[in-house]
Amino acid sequence: MDSTNAYAARHLKTLPDRQVIAAEIQHHGQGRTGRHWYSAKPGNVYASIVLKPSEIISPTFPIASISLYLSLCVCRLLDQYQVVSELKWPNDILVGNLKIGGILGQSYFSGDRMEGLVLGIGINLNLEEEDLQYIDQPATSLNLLLERPIPDSLFLSRLLEGFFSTYDEFINAGFPLIAGDFKKRCSFLGKKVMIRLPGTAFAATALGFDQEGRLIVRRSDDGREETVVAGDLIPDTART
């Protein structure tokens, strides 16, 4: 298909809550901030989870942090493969500074009412070294790290099992449920970073997160604390 997220968005009205759509390959894999997601090879995770929380819970649904929860589930699963991964806010999954996976969360509203949420997951499980040149940032793949092929259906089912095993608890409690584990895996906390927002960027120190999982930073220019809702974080290793 073109993109599991695009498919889910097109069929949102008829797809049930917790439906998962997975593709072998995607012709137009979408990354965050309008980037392309390399999806030409089978054997990787290209999937979307459709969430349609009921009317009753949707006003309190932790919409800002659900994709952080999913990225943490990916890290926890990588632990089981003895691979140490890190999180780069908002939801990049890195191994040794190389990107192995990412989440694209898209929400759909009709007026004030949330019609649904689509959480797209892309994880490189079985790429060849030569595929990495087509990825627009330094990247890796689980098979290259472990030097063996990775059964992709098993990986995806374990990921979904982990995600849904504490999903209800998460949507009730929100980000505080995962804050401790999430922070432990964020190597940029306490360091100088660049925050890139649409049309602008600024240098700051990453301080922590608020109750919704939004990033709190101290701006380098005027020392003010600021909460970043959406954007990109660029580790600024030269300045730490």
By the rule CB under 6 A, 51 interacts with ligand BTN: no
| Cα–Cα distance measured from residue 222 to residue 219, given in angstroms and rounded to the nearest whole number | 6
By the rule CB under 6 A, 103 interacts with ligand BTN: yes
| Cα–Cα distance measured from residue 50 to residue 70, given in angstroms and rounded to the nearest whole number | 13
CB 126 within 8 A of CB 154: no
By the rule CB under 6 A, 65 interacts with ligand BTN: no
Least distance in angstroms from the C-beta of 38 to ligand BTN:
9
CB 231 within 8 A of CB 212: no
By the rule CB under 6 A, 37 interacts with ligand BTN: yes
**Count of beta carbons in the 10 Å neighbourhood of residue 181:** 12
C-beta of 69 vs 205, nearer to ligand BTN: 69
Residue from 9, 32, 49, 217 in contact with ligand BTN (CB under 6 A): 32
Instruction: Mark 21-57 as b/e (b = at least 16 C-beta within 10 Å).
Output: bbbeebeebbbbeeeebbbebebbbbbbbbbbbeeee
| Cα–Cα distance measured from residue 72 to residue 78, given in angstroms and rounded to the nearest whole number | 10
Footprint on residues 110-139 left by ligand BTN (CB under 6 A): 120-122
By the rule CB under 6 A, 104 interacts with ligand BTN: yes
CB 104 within 8 A of CB 117: no
Footprint on residues 199-218 left by ligand BTN (CB under 6 A): none
Task: Give how far Cα 89 sits from Cα of 127, 173, 213, Å.
Answer: 24, 20, 9
| Cα–Cα distance measured from residue 229 to residue 222, given in angstroms and rounded to the nearest whole number | 19
Residue from 26, 67, 124, 143 in contact with ligand BTN (CB under 6 A): 26
Least distance in angstroms from the C-beta of 36 to ligand BTN:
9
C-beta of 26 vs 58, nearer to ligand BTN: 26
Considering only 3-11, 76-84, 149-157, 186-194, which stretch makes contact with ligand BTN by CB under 6 A?
Answer: 3-11
By the rule CB under 6 A, 61 interacts with ligand BTN: no
Task: Residue 68: name the closest of 209, 202, 193, 201 by CA.
Answer: 209
By the rule CB under 6 A, 90 interacts with ligand BTN: no
C-beta of 121 vs 127, nearer to ligand BTN: 121
Residue from 9, 15, 29, 163 in contact with ligand BTN (CB under 6 A): 29
Q: How many residues bind ligand BTN (CB under 6 A)?
A: 20
C-beta of 8 vs 63, nearer to ligand BTN: 8
Strand, helix or coil for residue 75: helix
Residues binding ligand BTN (CB under 6 A): 3-5, 26, 29-32, 35, 37, 46-48, 92, 102-104, 120-122
